[in-house]
Amino acid sequence: MAKKLVIVESPTKAKTISRFLNGDFKIESSYGHIRDLPKSKMGIDIENNFEPTYIIPTKSRKRVNELKKEAMDADEIILATDEDREGEAIAWHLTYALDIPAEKTKRIVFHEITKSAIEKALENPRKIDKKLVDSQQARRILDRLVGYELSPFLWKKVFKGLSAGRVQSVTVRLIVDREREIKKFTPQEYWSIVATLSEPTSNVGFEAGLIKRDGKIIDKFDIKTKKDADAIIKDLDNAKYKVTNIEKKEIKRSPKPPFTTSTLQQAAVNRFGMSAKQTMMIAQQLYENGFITYMRTDSLNLSNDSLKSAQKTINDMFGKKFSLTEPRRFKTKTKGAQEAHEAIRPSDSDKTPENLKRELDAKQFKIYDLIWRRFIACQMQEAIFDSTTIDIIGHRVSNGHSVSINYTFRANGSVMKFEGWLKVYPSSFKENVLPELKENELLKLIKLSPNQHFTEPPPRYSEASLIKALEEYGIGRPSTYAPTISTIQTRNYVEKNEQKKFVPTETGITVNDLLVEHFPQIVDLQFTAKIEEDLDMIAEGDIKWTPIIKEFYEPFHKNLENKYNEVEKQNNDEETDQICEKCGKPMVIKHGRFGKFMACTGFPDCKNTKTIKQEPKTIGMKCPKCLEGEVIEIRTRYKKLFFGCSRYPDCDYASWKNPMGEKSR
């Protein structure tokens, strides 16, 4: 019997596939990449059309030898790595590392690890798509050229241990630019006026906001000061309030599209506080176990089979009034989206989260539940609301006559009429029930409230909003969001504050400013997006990869050579009054990859360094255990925040939670 060898990237994926294939097949895993550029050198022959030199890393050599033996004994080798460019590149590298002849090799792809999907893929094998391989290879070479040439420049001009990257540097720039916007922001004062009104015989009030004066709309900043607000309040002294217009209409809210990589990451951050990296790790586990479709995608496509399955699930679980007669389809607006792919969805919509609860751990359940609900919701009827808008004008009685003051207030009400998709995917919505009023009906004023407001600066990026920005600017692709965000934190270019928002470190600001001044293209949003478009065109076969690399590299390298002579070493040392106890020379505060430290000015003859102890931050309460020390914020070596007693080690009080809400014990 013919032996067919199927090779995938992960053992979990191999185990799942083995459930669907009979004894003719042997399923093996490559355990990820088995060839790569060397770590010890550039590995790119710049003089020879940027030809890369690939090696088999030491950790992969044993596995490669095992796979070689299996391949020699097989009549047919089926490469079933992931469907994206990286997966295509892994398949291509396998053919070289294992010396697989072309006539024995088949390439198959599938969006989900199910019996039907695998059988369909086996019926439609193809050759390795060299265009996809070239696109992935070009990305890898570009990133290697930037990293290996620009990083040493940063070591020489700033300090050792720094790195630059084509996508990571632009991401840091977004965060630095946002921080500067916040710092230079000047709040602007403005006021609003709200009337709390009721029917004459009722004490149950509803709110209406002031929207017009003399029939002219009041803009946000028209009421600038308390004096302006008080003048309006005075105008309305002893006023009568009358309903002048009532509009009722039905409003429909459509569901959001199924998840793509970026929207899944954003939802997981917002709902569960999961990092993009953690979300993708969990999604990959769900994919490799056959529960969801491929999780690296920017497409909103849904297969016809999945749409039919969703309709049946909705009919069975919620009834026909919640399902659609025709499926709802979505078109992605993301730059360079791969429309041939599918959105992230459950492999089988009948497998509800509750059905799988015993098979999933807590975090896997959360992500699967989110994906399942989003997919089912996108094929359900719209949610319907009854919306009511009531306009009210004030009148002041003067000498027995009613005089129009020409101030118009508006109350908006909304009541859910039909849940629709909200039944399965709850969204933020608050009903506001207004009383049943009639036109020309007089109302009772309960109170008139002037409210002071100030404009706020743009918010710092969270993981969710940063991913959204990267996607909107066309920077990176689904596979790069999570590793990029992880890298800029590992490199200590940015850190998260207590609100889990990104703040640039001094190191991040220093490196960013140097790159912006001297290598503007590297950190230019439009240029970086253009590179991504070029990589997409390579994948489509519209252009070749070597001219793109050459067009980028030659001016980049020439500029870099010039900058070695032009740019002075950045000296950010801070003087101190401390003397080195080893050689007697002054100590200075230096900036390193992991923050500030103290060093001797006698370096390299004297290599004395010291850590800088920062003043502990108190939270404004006594230690609940000893009642003597102050509770202070403390960071672990991995920067995780906890709270402890300032008298440690005499008092060992510690808490992961802020004790301001805890009782003394």
3-state SS record for 206-257: EEEEEEEECCEECCCCCCCCHHHHHHHHHHCCCEEEEEEEEEEEEEEECCCC
User: Is 200 in contact with 359 (CB distance < 8 Å)?
Assistant: no
Pairing of the two strands 641-645 and 630-635: antiparallel
Q: Rounded to whole angstroms, how far apart are CA atoms 572 and 322? A: 64
Structure tokens given for 34: 């088995």
Q: Which helix (H) or strand (E) holds 466?
A: helix 463-473
| 3 state SS of 568 | coil
510 DSSP β-pair partners: none
Using a 10 angstrom Cβ sphere, with 0-12 exposed, 13-18 middle and 19 or more buried, the burial of residue 102 is exposed
Residue 34's alpha-carbon distances to 8, 23, 56, 132, in angstroms, are 12, 27, 6, 18
Instruction: Give the length of the chain.
Output: 665
DSSP symbol at 84: S
Unique residue bearing structure tokens 């990571």 = 168
Q: Rounded to whole angstroms, how far apart are CA atoms 199 and 436? A: 9
Q: Under 8 Å CB-to-CB from 258, ≥6 apart: which residues?
A: 300, 302, 330, 343, 344, 345, 374, 375, 378
Structure tokens given for 535: 């990589």
Q: Rounded to whole angstroms, how far apart are CA atoms 129 and 100? A: 16
Q: Rounded to whole angstroms, how far apart are CA atoms 137 and 149? A: 18
Q: How many helices (H) and strands (E) does the chain have?
A: 17, 23
Q: What's the order of all strands across the beta sheet hosting 4-8? A: 25-29, 4-8, 76-79, 105-107
Structure tokens given for 290: 């056959």
Q: Rounded to whole angstroms, how far apart are CA atoms 55 and 47? A: 20
Q: Rounded to whole angstroms, how far apart are CA atoms 351 and 354? A: 8
Question: Which amino acid does the sequence have at 534?
Answer: D
Q: Under 8 Å CB-to-CB from 537, ≥6 apart: which residues?
A: 543
Q: Rounded to whole angstroms, how far apart are CA atoms 77 and 92? A: 12
Q: What's the order of all strands across the beta sheet hosting 617-622? A: 617-622, 630-635, 641-645, 654-655
412 DSSP β-pair partners: 389
* Catalytic annotation, pick one of 294, 368, 493, 653: 294
| 3 state SS of 514 | helix
- 241 belongs to the catalytic site: no
Catalytic positions, written as ranges: 294
